[in-house]
Amino acid sequence: MRLHVIPTPFYAANCVIIVPDGSTTACVVDPSAGVIDTITRILADEGRKVGAVLCTHGHADHVWEAAAAASLNEEGTQVPVYIPGPDRYRMDDPLAHTPAPPQVTAMLGPWRKPEDLRDFPAGSVELIDGLWMKMVPAPGHTEGSAVFIGHCDVTVVVDGEEVTSSSTPIPWALSGDVIFAGSVGRTDLPGGNETQMRHSLRTISNALDPQTFMIPGHGPVTTLADEIATNPYLSRARKIG
């Protein structure tokens, strides 16, 4: 399976294209503003169409082009867009809950809500052929923020450059804005909660395999083991919960 990580112009959010082996479709994760042309190019290079879109949470920099990305399929109709249920209300007007300065909103254009919006299901889910994922709720950044985990052989390509490859199954995760390399998502925006974030960080750091390869919503890729060893926010959460 190949995971293409695309740093985007909108607050440098990471969009991810997941390309399962043997499938005819791909899953687009967190399609931020200004990224559709790159998504289209990568899909063409891979010979795939979009089969599903996943938004890790409802902030504007992670959902803005969800409807456009969902239209990149064979039929031209929109494929399902999944989001954690507690954040679904944010999709009515993402900027109403995460205001942005005028210089940012000027680049966005009008908001277009996805036509087929769905809560991410409980349990282990096959979003598209060959892509099984499970959502671990991790509120604190938003009410619905979560970590999405998988387990398979992966090749990770960041901005066109291969950064890791495993020919055997390994645990990997999309950590959204829960855990970054050396930091965590902010909790001072509407729907954020610092106490909940500490609890979520403690749960994630104790429940997931430390060798989990993590692709965050912003910044470089990392591993859970590295974050447990060096991330001060995880250290604090593990001590006081």
Query: Which tens digits make up the pLDDT trace of 104-115?
Result: 788 788 999 999
Q: What is the pTM of this model?
A: 0.97
Percent of the chain with pLDDT over 90: 91
More confident residue, 101 or 93: 93
190 by Cβ neighbours in 10 Å (0-12 / 13-18 / 19+) ranks as exposed
What's the confidence (pLDDT) of residue 102? 82
What's the confidence (pLDDT) of residue 103? 79
CA–CA dist 60, 112 (Å, integer): 11
What's the confidence (pLDDT) of residue 125? 96
Say which residues have a Cβ less than 8 Å from residue 208's Cβ, sequence separation at least 6.
Answer: 136, 147, 149, 171, 173, 224
For residue 146, the cross-strand partners are 137
What's the confidence (pLDDT) of residue 77? 83
Confidence of residue 98 (pLDDT cuts 50, 70, 90): confident
Give 7-61 as a DSSP string: E-TTTTBEEEEEE-TT-SEEEEE---TT-HHHHHHHHHHHT-EEEEEE-SS--HH
- List, for residues 17-46, the tens digit of each pLDDT value: 999 999 999 999 999 999 999 999 999 999
Instruction: Give me the chain's average pLDDT, please.
Output: 95
Say which residues have a Cβ less than 8 Å from residue 79's Cβ, sequence separation at least 6.
Answer: 50, 51, 52, 53, 70, 73, 116
Confidence of residue 220 (pLDDT cuts 50, 70, 90): very high
- List, for residues 185-197, the tens digit of each pLDDT value: 999 999 999 999 9
What's the confidence (pLDDT) of residue 228? 97
What's the confidence (pLDDT) of residue 38? 97
Helix or strand holding residue 205 (H, E):
helix 194-207
What's the confidence (pLDDT) of residue 100? 79
What's the confidence (pLDDT) of residue 106? 80
- List, for residues 47-93, the tens digit of each pLDDT value: 999 999 999 999 999 999 999 999 998 776 899 999 999 999 999 99
CA–CA dist 13, 7 (Å, integer): 6
